[in-house]
Amino acid sequence: MDQKSNIQLDNLIEKVKELLVIQDNYKILDSNHLEILIDKDLLAKTAELLVNSSDLNASLITLTAVDSRKTERAYTLYTVFSINKLNCLLSLKTLIEEKNPSYPAISKVIPSLNWHEREIHDLFGIIPEGIELPPLVLHRDWHPGKNFPMRKDFPKDSQIPITEHELEFQGPHGEGFHQIAVGPIHAGIIEPGHLRFCALGEEIHKFDAQLFYTHKGIEKMAEGKTPEECLEISEHICGMCSFSHSVAYCLALETLANTAIPERAVFIRMVFLELERLASHLADLMAISSSGGFAFASAYSATLREVIMRINHELTGSRFLRGLNIIGGLQKDIPDKSFNNLTVKLEKFNTDFKDLEKLILNSDSLLDRLELTGLLPKEKAKSLGLVGPPARASEIDTDIRRDNSYLAYKRYKLNVPIYDTYDALARTQVRIDEVYESVKLIKNIIEDLPSGKISVEINSYLKLTPSVGFIESPKGELVHWVMLNNDGKILRFHVRSASYMNWMGVVQATMGNNIVPDGPLVNKSFNLCYACVDR
């Protein structure tokens, strides 16, 4: 496995050499991760070159900054690409001097990085030149001055006074236009966020959102913690996808420890990742049908979701699969008998789910709400960098379980549902198809379940080396970026969730020729986690 990856890495180096001038400025971080040192003036151009190269087909997965003033006397920016074809990662490392913390913005050429750059500006005070920088993560009552919370000289628990302030939204003005403010506290049991519709009569002309209400500074919390302590934090980023988060984090740390976890642990992790996907997709279907006014299908999805949650509880003792993962494998083994039971239960689940599918797809009133609502054409979705089910509903053929091999997904043939109708119905259908795929996948994985150990001991980690955990969570691609300091504690922990990428998709889809009552439905057809976005 390692040797094969190395060949692919050599391949990558050759291909990159064709595109860029690289001599000694590259470094091999691990068996499938290449790092290139790039000057800040060339950063945007290089990123554009890599993304547009048809040979590499690189996809930009995250951009993060590190306050490395102690070691490098400069801030460091890491732009991470995934080269799915070669199953490799490519990082561009850029040093940004302390005196003049600015660089030409990448989002001018790659718009999907807009939020990343604004976040780095808010938290680190590094200025991306050439784009507008309204506050994103920190709200308007935070007056930066010298208060950039992610800088190392900003004490962990120091706080800035809170003042009540007006939200600012741009939108058309004039006779007939009115703004509808929603949130941050919503009517139902959902997470907080402020949405603003600007409507002319019923029609939505402009839609915008103020998020990051549940921003807790988790990335700051993690700093200085041991890798094991940070695992618990990673599990508590989001409830809907807590297992995905912990797997992504563990993968990053296992790469740093240069360890392969036992086969059995790999397979059991895959079973639970898929169970989490089932639970999450059923919650999505529940939300979609209730927003469409179809209470019966909503209750039925809720019932099926509860079935999965109880299976989770029975197998692991936690309905949200917490406490199962450890760095190096699993906390406890689960007997084969329980897995055989699971197969039987899933058989019944599958027949029940067929009923639900019929219910949703044969109900004219619901279909009428879903069809042609919240259109998000392929080109737009691509430029926004959409991931996960909403991307597949916009005809983007992506699923990193198939494209990039982590755990043992490469062994199984995965049918990735792609729809070219771009509407809320397509997003519903993608989820329905994926539920069937996941059930099939779990059955196959259980058949192949190897026996043996479930964890390995880990002695040491690489220091001051970036590592990436990159997996397909229920909502889409999830990236965990970790770097340890010289004492083996967390220096920087960065999370880019799928919902973070998809939020602009919601905004764009809502604005596309919809009426105000469709707003919630479009939102629910994405059903993003706020906790994942805000952190």
Partner 1 sequence: MFNVFKLWITKDIVLEKVPDIKAIDVDSLLKDLSRIKKLDTNTRTALSRSLIIRHLDTGSCNAEEAELIALSNPFYDISRFGIEFTASPRHADVLTVTGPVTRHLKIAMEKTYNAMPKPKIVVAIGDGACNGSIYEKTYACLGRVDQFLPVDIYIPGDPPSPEQILKGLLTCKVLLAQKEKKNG
Q: How far is the CB of 514 from partner 1 (least distance, A)?
A: 22
Look-up of token digits 């940004």: 96
Is residue 486 a contact point for partner 1 (CB under 8 A)?
no
Give dist(CA 265, CA 144) in Å, integer: 46
* Cα 316 off chain centre by: 24
For residues 74 and 123, which CB has a smaller minimum distance to partner 1 in the complex? 123
Among 8, 154, 179, 372, which residue interacts with partner 1 (rule: CB under 8 A)? 154
User: Contact between 175 and partner 1 (CB under 8 A)?
Assistant: no
The total number of residues shown for the chain amounts to 535
Residue in 65, 120, 195, 233 binding partner 1, rule: CB under 8 A: 233
Q: Does 238 sit near partner 1 (CB under 8 A)?
A: yes
Q: Binding to partner 1 (CB under 8 A): which residues in 316-375?
A: 318-320, 322, 352, 355-356
Of the residues 139, 152, 380, 463, which one makes contact with partner 1 according to CB under 8 A: 139
The dihedral built from the CA positions of residue 214, 220, 225 and 227, taken in this order, carries a sign that is positive
Does 240 bind partner 1 (CB under 8 A)? Our answer is yes
User: Residue 409, interface with partner 1 (CB under 8 A)?
Assistant: no
Distance CA 495, CA 247 (A): 13
Pairing between β-strand 74-83 and β-strand 88-97 as defined by DSSP bridges: antiparallel
When asked if residue 281 is in the footprint of partner 1 (CB under 8 A), the reply is no
Site stretch for partner 1 (CB under 8 A), options 106-114, 179-187, 266-274, 415-423 = 179-187
Angle between helices 518-526 and 498-511 (to 10 degrees): 150
Q: Which stretch binds partner 1 (CB under 8 A): 28-36, 152-160, 461-469, 503-511?
A: 152-160
Binder of partner 1 out of 133, 182, 221, 449 (CB under 8 A)? 221
Kindly state the tokens that stand for 242.
């807590």
Instruction: Select 385 or 476, whichever has its Cβ closest to partner 1.
Output: 476
* DSSP state for residue 98 in the 8-state scheme: S
- Of 88 and 222, the one with the shorter C-beta distance to partner 1 is 222
Which residue, 252 or 287, is less far from partner 1 as judged by CB?
287
**Contacts of partner 1 in 299-318 (CB under 8 A):** 299-300, 302-303, 305-306, 309-310, 313, 318
283 binds partner 1 (CB under 8 A): yes
Q: Are 34 and 9 in contact (CB under 8 A)?
A: yes
Indicate whether 160 belongs to the interface with partner 1 (CB under 8 A). yes
Shortest approach of partner 1 to residue 294 CB, angstroms?
Answer: 13
Q: Work out how close the CB of 186 gets to partner 1 at its nearest, in angstroms, rounded to a whole number.
A: 8
Phi and psi angles of residue 332, each rounded to the nearest 5 degrees, phi first: -140, 155
Under 8 Å between Cβ of 113 and 43: no
Q: What are φ and ψ of residue 389, in 5° steps?
A: -50, -45
Least Å from the CB of residue 420 to partner 1? 31
Q: Tell me which of 130, 192, 377, 417 binds partner 1, using CB under 8 A.
A: 192
Per-residue burial over 388-426, b = 16 or more CB atoms within 10 Å of its CB, e = otherwise: bbbbbbbbbebbbbbbbbbbebeeeebeebbbebbbbbb
Q: How far is the CB of 157 from partner 1 (least distance, A)?
A: 4
Instruction: Decide whether 180 or 299 has the Cβ nearer to partner 1.
Output: 299
> Given the complex with partner 1, which of 392 and 494 has the nearer CB atom?
494
**Residue 424: how many CA atoms within 13 Å on its side-chain side?**
33
Query: Of 495, 501, 493, 496, which is closest to residue 528 (Cα–Cα)?
Result: 501
SS3 percent helix, strand, coil of the chain, rounded to 5, is: 45, 20, 40
Distances (CA, A) of 119 to 63, 114, 210: 10, 9, 14
Residue 182 binding partner 1, by CB under 8 A? no
Query: Per CB under 8 A, does 144 bind partner 1?
Result: no
Cβ–Cβ < 8 Å for 254, 328: yes
Which tokens in the block code for residue 269?
A: 């992790």
- 213 binding partner 1? (CB under 8 A): yes
- What six digits make up the tokens of 54? 């048809």
Q: Report how far residue 331's alpha carbon sits from residue 326's, in angstroms, rounded to the nearest whole number.
A: 6
Residues within the interface to partner 1 (CB under 8 A): 138-139, 149, 154, 156-160, 162, 164, 184-185, 187-192, 212-218, 220-221, 232-233, 236-240, 242, 283, 286, 296, 299-300, 302-303, 305-306, 309-310, 313, 318-320, 322, 352, 355-356, 529-531
